[in-house]
Amino acid sequence: MRVRFWGVRGSVPWAVPNAIGHGCNTPCIELLDERSGAILILDAGSGIVGVNPAAVSPTPRPISLLLTHYHWDHLQGLPFFATLYQPGWDLTIHTPALAAHDPSWLDTVFKSPFFPVPYQHLPNRPRVNLIRPGELDIPGFEVTALPLNHPGGALAYRIRGVTGDFVYATDHEFGDPEYDEPLADFARGAAAMALDAHFTPQELPQHRGWGHSDWRQCAQFAAANDIGGLWLFHHKPGRSDEELVRIRADARRIFAATETASEGEALQL
Ligand SMILES: [Zn+2]
Ligand SMILES: [Zn+2]
């Protein structure tokens, strides 16, 4: 399984020159199962604009788009996702049944005056599948889901790879054992994990309740739970490459196998 980061920032795709090394697009990760050709996309932040399976495969394959929640930064790229305009590609959007879930969200995203093409007129209208925590039915992938501590709710995902599992746990605020303990059980032993490192330990106290964590909590979590490699993710908009390099060095003192996720980076599991 190949895991590729297309968007690694949180909140808003504010592109500034001194942060462009890591990239400024909001969350999107593409997983490809090389054996079956199945594709799983995690979140539809602005990074999804770079995902175009038709450009690399002449024959349509099943594509699943799995959302963590409905905040703008995880959805804003969706109207510009190439596969919605390419008939013949079998696309399913898996949408979490969260407390804050509104079944008309998809219509709203494409509705005038926000977007010129109504959902009903999309050339390749996707299927929609409502999901809940537990084992998910996603073609070509073994996926389990777990609730995270985030305003309105969000889900973490664990995806089985050939050599180890990938855990995607963005938009989570550490500090509530009701969520943290199940997350530790859920993630334990994963080969790779992307975690919400939006804040620094200095910034976090002023942002309690925002639903995000700091890089130190992420490194401590990885060290305590036998994680193979940690990718700090959901970088704060405007956080410079220089700052991120410093954060990575500091985090490595707690957990050596730490990376700061950057656009275009890929790992093999
Ligand atoms: Zn977010
Ligand atoms: Zn969020």
Per-residue confidence (pLDDT) for residue 102, from 0 to 100:
84
Ligand 2: distance of its center to the CA of 252 in Å? 26
pLDDT tens, position by position, 6-16? 999 999 999 99
Ligand 2: distance of its center to the CA of 58 in Å? 35
Closest ligand (CA of 10): 1
Rounded distance between C-alpha atoms, residue 86 and residue 33, angstroms: 21
Closest ligand (CA of 70): 2
Q: Sign (positive/negative) of CA torsion 102, 108, 114, 117?
A: positive
pLDDT tens, position by position, 60-111? 989 999 999 999 999 999 999 999 999 999 999 999 999 877 889 999 999 9
Ligand 1: distance of its center to the CA of 205 in Å? 18
Residue 75 has φ and ψ, to the nearest 5°, of -130, -20
Ligand 2: distance of its center to the CA of 91 in Å? 24
Closest ligand (CA of 45): 1
User: How many CB atoms are closer than 10 A to CB 226?
Assistant: 11
47: CATH: 3.60.15.10
Rounded distance between C-alpha atoms, residue 27 and residue 13, angstroms: 9
Collapsing DSSP to helix, strand or coil, 229 comes out as strand
Rounded distance between C-alpha atoms, residue 190 and residue 230, angstroms: 10
User: How many CB atoms are closer than 10 A to CB 17?
Assistant: 9
Residue 63 has φ and ψ, to the nearest 5°, of -125, 130
Q: What is the mean pLDDT of the chain?
A: 96
Q: Which domain holds residue 160?
A: 2-268
Its pTM stands at: 0.97
Q: What percent of the chain has pLDDT over 70?
A: 100
Ligand 2: distance of its center to the CA of 11 in Å? 8
Rounded distance between C-alpha atoms, residue 134 and residue 105, angstroms: 23
Ligand 1: distance of its center to the CA of 42 in Å? 12
pLDDT band at residue 57, thresholds of 50, 70 and 90? confident
User: How many CB atoms are closer than 10 A to CB 57?
Assistant: 13
DSSP helix, strand, coil percent of the chain (3-state; round to 5): 25, 30, 45
Residue 84 has φ and ψ, to the nearest 5°, of -70, -15
Ligand 1: distance of its center to the CA of 25 in Å? 11
Provide the number of structural domains found in the chain.
1
CB 38 within 8 A of CB 68: no
> For ligand 1, a single-atom ion, which residues have Cβ within 5 Å?
10, 73, 171
Ligand 2: distance of its center to the CA of 33 in Å? 27
How far apart, in Å, do the first and last CA atoms of the chain sit?
Answer: 5
